Structure 1
Amino acid sequence: MARILIYRRNLRFPHASVVDGTRALGELGERHGFTVDATEDPAVFRPAALRRYAAVVFLSTGGPVLDEAGQDALRAHLTAGHGWLGVHAASSTAYEWPWFEGLVGARFDRHPAIQTAPVRVADPGHPATAHLPARWEWTDEWYDFRSDPRERGARVLLTVDEADYTGAAMGLADRHPLAWCGEHDGAPTFYTALGHAPEAYADRAFRGHLLGGLRHVLG
């Protein structure tokens, strides 16, 4: 049975929803055959401890959440072929570490006020999106990123049209990325910008989105 590590440390913008996200991932594991451990302790990021995990989830992490030894351990673990999944604020993590930018695909820049807009499925041929309708009404923080993850070769799965909400600043019109997958130094990767609010993790469609992302990073 695969074991997944959920890392929840946030030194910038702590999210109460990490409790709900951890619960949701644990319940998905019970149903779909994997187990989860959750921690905010950076000391877990050492080779001997990481060896237990098939994938690592950064659940709304933020800021410099790993020391140098932890960064080295995570990089070695992932370049050995283990998976990485980032949720929501994970893109605001480790700005001081260039390698991590390649891992997450794009850095968080800013977001306007929380509001509702239709999420658009850009790629329905992925397990994280195959169950979703072509347009999916959702309420969240619509993240702007410092770059377009497509520039790093990411496969964009979900988008939002910047005309459908107020305050967008990326200037990508209907190509504004919300979720994507790829590979970085041998590690399968998945990131979704969705998941700010606690109630998101009770939503069946969003849980299916997370499950599909886990299936991607678990291979």
Structure 2
Amino acid sequence: MKKSLISSILILMLLMSASVSAQQFRALVFSKTAGFRHQSIPNAVVALKKMGTKQVFSVHASEDPRVLAEENLMKYDVLILVSSTGTIFDETTRASLQKFVRSGKGVVGVHAATDSEYDWPWYNEMIGAYFLAHPAQQTLRLEVVDQDHPSTWHLPKNWMWTDELYEFRDINPNIKVLINADETTYEVARGNGANHPMAWYHEFDGGRVFYTALGHVDSAWEDDDFLKHLYGGIWYAATGEPFD
């Protein structure tokens, strides 16, 4: 009886080990807010956990700043900032994030991740821009300008979308734009003109970064096109695998 129990435990441990090793990569979802808090954050966390199960990567979600400590953060392949706002990094965790990126890891920003760390120029360059303004939620034409990225392979050239439409300042000129907002198809707040990026990626300081301004509305987190868009960006940031 005792031998049978030990055997069962060993088999369970082996299965658990195989399950962990089968994961493509490890993602840390961080959604702490020190400013405006988006209602869609809980839906986002649930959707990302389901995505991890479906796409075979591990997801740990937290709003505890201690998860950003260097010894913990380095366990992950990608940090996903879901509508984080305000100043969420202190001096120690800023250094931790910089080391994480410089070691070749990935960062994904979703929606309000650009509404954060306004006094940290490195973060601005890394995430790609700072939030400027947004009009009321509207439907618009999104122009997919680069269909050769994992986050846009599945999207049509003209993508009709309804969301809270971010406008930006201090845009890093080195970002590679994936999707533009067509400002002629909706009523802007301040506007970015003909070149109004809504999703982008770039290699930065040794790591990889993907950002999408979409994801304010709850319904986005149940939309297959959006979730495929986001997964493609996560996969790029986490793995760095070639895609062209």
The answer on whether the counterparts of 1:5 and 1:37 sit within 8 Å (CA) in structure 2 is yes
Q: Tell me the TM-score normalised to structure 1 length.
A: 0.95
Larger RCO, structure (CA 8 Å, separation 6 or more): 1
Q: Which residue of 2 aligns with 1:216?
A: 236
In 2 relative to 1, CA 53–123 (structure 1 residues): closer, same or farther, beyond 3 Å? same
Q: Which residue of 1 aligns with 2:178?
A: 157
Q: Which residue of 2 aligns with 1:49?
A: 72
Distance 1:162 1:115 in 2: 11
Q: Which residue of 2 aligns with 1:204?
A: 224
Give the CA deviation at 1:43.
1.6
Q: Which residue of 1 aligns with 2:132?
A: 109
* 55-64 vs 10-19, which moves further: 10-19
Q: Which residue of 2 aligns with 1:100?
A: 123
Q: Which consecutive unaligned segments of at least 5 residues does structure 2 have?
A: 1-22
Code of the residue aligned with 2:207 in structure 1: it is A
Give the CA deviation at 1:148.
3.5
Give the CA deviation at 1:48.
1.1
Distance 1:12 1:5 in 2: 21
Give the CA deviation at 1:59.
0.3
In 2 relative to 1, CA 60–171 (structure 1 residues): closer, same or farther, beyond 3 Å? closer
SS of the residue 1:57 aligns to: strand
Question: Quick check: which has more Rg, 1 or 2?
Answer: 2
1:5 to 2:28 alignment: yes
1:195 to 2:218 alignment: no
Q: 1:175-194 maps to which residues of 2 (within 5 A)? A: 175-194=195-214
Distance 1:133 1:111 in 2: 24
Query: What per-residue deviation string (whole Å, max 9, x for no partner) do you get for residues 139-175 of structure 1?
Result: 11111101334x1x111000111111102423422x2
Q: Which consecutive unaligned segments of at least 5 residues does structure 1 have?
A: none
Distance 1:51 1:148 in 2: 28
Over the matched positions of the two proteins, sequence identity in percent amounts to 40
Give the CA deviation at 1:111.
0.5
Q: Which residue of 2 aligns with 1:137?
A: 160
Q: 1:64-103 maps to which residues of 2 (within 5 A)? A: 64-103=87-126
Distance 2:192 2:107 in 1: 28
Distance 2:176 2:72 in 1: 31
